[in-house]
Structure 1
Amino acid sequence: MRSVCILVAICFASVAAVPAADISGRIAGGSLATVNQYPFVASMLYSRNGVSYVQSCAGSIITNRAILSSASCYFGDANNNWRIKVGSSYANSGGIIHYINSIFINAAYNSFTRDSDMAIVRSNSVFTYTAAVNFVRIASPTYNLPDQSAVWALGWGRTSPSGAASEQLRYTQIWTVNTNVCRNIYRGVGFTVTDNMICTGWLNNGGHGQCDGDNGGPLIHNTAAAGLALVGVFSWGQCGSHVYPDINTRVSRYAQWIANNA
């Protein structure tokens, strides 16, 4: 697992008046949830020594053997550094543990800019679908996600920039931010926002977003016509900042890659 704070620390070091930031992920300002509400959410457990595993990232069940998550969680790691836990509302307890067969990092992933920050983690064993374990539909290549759309983020990450991680699953409603607006915000502090990214947040208000421990977790969109869809995978951000949007990898841009590798 790679540190997700180094990039921001370097890039922000010479920018006065910019608050200390991390390029990681929480559910800030969220509410408690259960996996019966969101049965596709998976807790991704990490261990340096292959003995003691703790929740460090999140992911989404997309087939009965595949999890969609972020490349930045697994880049440089061995399969044995990670376990998949499904069917539990809790980060580190309950549910069913699955060993990992393989990790597919998107070939275009850039570990510095976080472009194409997407990975598919395949399980050694099949996920048995129940009320607490099921798959989520991914956004198609033509999926329409307008600016200012209500979306929901899920995870077990920190609940504030300096707070502890949440042991129980949380969700929060946020809104999509226009890509050009987002790009201009981050250009001023040396970050590149690409069309492969979805910007989200509560600009001018803050307090709601994604943070440490939410990396790889789902961003979902719900419409009356099409129902629930996985539109984003959390990559990096400012923990619910009122100035800097959070950044998710745009699933629709990778729909064919996902279909080929899941």
Structure 2
Amino acid sequence: MGSEKEVLVAAAVFLVALISQSEGIIGGREAAPHSRPYMASIQAPEGETMKHECGGFAVADQWVMTAAHCLPSGPGGRKVVLGVHSLSEPEETKQTFDILELHNHPDFSPWNYDNDIALIKLDRPFNVSEAVKTAEFLRAGGANPGADAEVDTAGWGSLDNLGSRPDKLKELAVEVVSSARCRRSDYFGRKFTDNMICAHRVCPDPCGQPHRKEDSCDGDSGGPLLYNGVVVGITSNGGKKCGQMKKPGIYTIISHYTEWIDNTMALQPTAAQD
């Protein structure tokens, strides 16, 4: 057995590896600037400045989709910024908007984050550019990804459970976890519903430490989950325990809300069904 000094040195090396590997939204990488032109940063006032709070994504020229839990009690002075890569740098591509209307899903549950979807109407239409465009999202009848399918997500959320945040947009490829597993009592149990997808990626050697889970995290909420370039989910509440093996990221299934989305945006003003 090695000396106490050798054990301490080994522990220090492991800690450095752990920190260095947590480079993105728990294991992601920096996205190419403006390669995801639909991304939105929802920012809240903090003193004289604005601070990134949640993600979102543009779905029409005056509409951004996000998670209901991001704005549970109203806009509260928040603003939406499009065309962002760096949160701090003065990029010419940025367009900043006030929130004209906020529509949280009426059946959103704070207990388990079921129906965690919201629509924000901006105070004006955005100007389309290479850095600001809408994302295509899956509608009713479309095929959602099955277990083990590779999907991807992005955001400016915490790099680790200590709350450190990136300045530039991060992206991450993850894999869908079966609904049956996520319903197990040692995962999410009864809190996991048919309106949810859960996903993560276990990073084996040689990625660094074995069995480290890559995941979305705090601050990524409201951002998109994409499958073959189409948004299929909204980052919800799984990231509260970032990187834990039995707490994958949870995402709201967008295709379950086509009628509500259309009615809210007045694209198809049909009568709601019971």
CA distance in 2: counterparts of 1:136 and 1:168, whole angstroms? 20
Aligned to 2:215: 209
1:52 paired to 2:49: yes
Q: Which residue of 2 aligns with 1:260?
A: 263
Task: Give 1:63-142 correspondences, 5 Å limit.
Answer: 63-77=60-74, 79-93=75-89, 94=91, 95-142=94-141
Match of 2:29 in 1: 31
Distance 2:133 2:56 in 1: 12
Closer/same/farther in 2, CA of residues 203 and 75 from structure 1, 3 Å limit: same
Deviations 1:45-79 (A, max 9, x none): 01267x532101000100001010000000013x3
TM-score (norm 1): 0.82
The residue that corresponds to 1:230 in the other structure is 231
Secondary structure in 2 aligned to 1:99?
strand
> CA contact under 8 A between 2:202 and 2:213: conserved in structure 1?
no
Q: What is the one-letter code of the residue matched to 2:80?
A: I
Letter in 2 for 1:40: Y
Give the Cα separation in 1 of the matches to 2:51 and 2:127.
23
Give the direction of change, closer, same or farther, for the CA distance of 1:185–1:132 in structure 2 (3 Å limit). farther
Q: Are 1:32 and 1:169, in contact at CA under 8 Å, matched by a contact in 2?
A: yes
Question: Residue 62 of structure 1 corresponds to which residue in structure 2?
Answer: 59
In 2, are the aligned partners of 1:70 and 1:216 still within 8 Å (CA)?
yes
- The alpha-carbon deviation at position 112 of structure 1 amounts to 1.4
**Distance in 2 (alpha carbons) for counterparts of 1:210 and 1:157:** 7
| Structure of higher RCO (CA pairs closer than 8 Å, 6+ residues apart) | 1
Moved >6 Å (runs of 4+): none
Gaps (5+ residues) in structure 1?
A: 1-25, 223-227
- Change in Cα spacing, 1:146 to 1:201, as seen in structure 2 (3 Å) is same
Structure 2: 5+ residue stretches without partners: 1-23, 204-210, 266-274
Q: Secondary structure at the match of 1:27?
A: coil
Distance between the aligned counterparts of 1:165 and 1:80, measured in 2? Answer: 22
Kindly report the root-mean-square deviation, in angstroms, between the aligned alpha carbons of the 2 structures.
Answer: 1.9
* Contact 1:27 1:153 (C-alpha < 8 Å) held by counterparts: no
Report the alpha carbon displacement of residue 186 of structure 1 after superposing the two structures with TM. 4.7
Deviations 1:221-242 (A, max 9, x none): 11xxxxx211110111121322
Would you say the 8 A contact 2:163–2:218 is kept in 1? no
Count of matched residue pairs: 229
Q: 1:240 aligns with which of 225, 239, 243?
A: 243
Q: State, as a whole percentage, how many aligned pairs show the same letter.
A: 25
Matches of 1:191 and 1:48, distance apart in 2: 36
Specify the code of the residue in structure 2 equivalent to 1:167: D
Q: Does structure 1 conserve the Cα–Cα contact (< 8 Å) formed by 2:55 and 2:155?
A: yes
What does residue 184 of structure 1 align with? 184
Query: How far did residue 190 of structure 1 move?
Result: 6.0
Q: Residue 175 of structure 2 contacts residue 201 of structure 2 at CA under 8 Å; is this kept in 1?
A: yes
Deviation at 1:163, TM superposition (A): 4.8
Letter in 2 for 1:235: S
Pair 1:64–1:201, CA change in 2 (3 A)? same
The amino acid across from 1:69 in the alignment is T
Q: Which residue of 1 aligns with 2:171?
A: 171
Deviation at 1:158, TM superposition (A): 1.0
Name the amino acid aligned to 2:236.
Answer: S
Alpha-carbon contact 1:197-1:248 (below 8 Å) kept: yes
TM-score (ref. length: structure 2): 0.78
| Cα pair distance change 1:92/1:73, threshold 3 Å | farther
Query: Displacement of 1:142 after TM fit?
Result: 1.7
Q: Does the 8 A contact of 1:72 with 1:117 survive in 2? A: yes
Worse-matched range after superposition: 195-204 or 117-126: 195-204
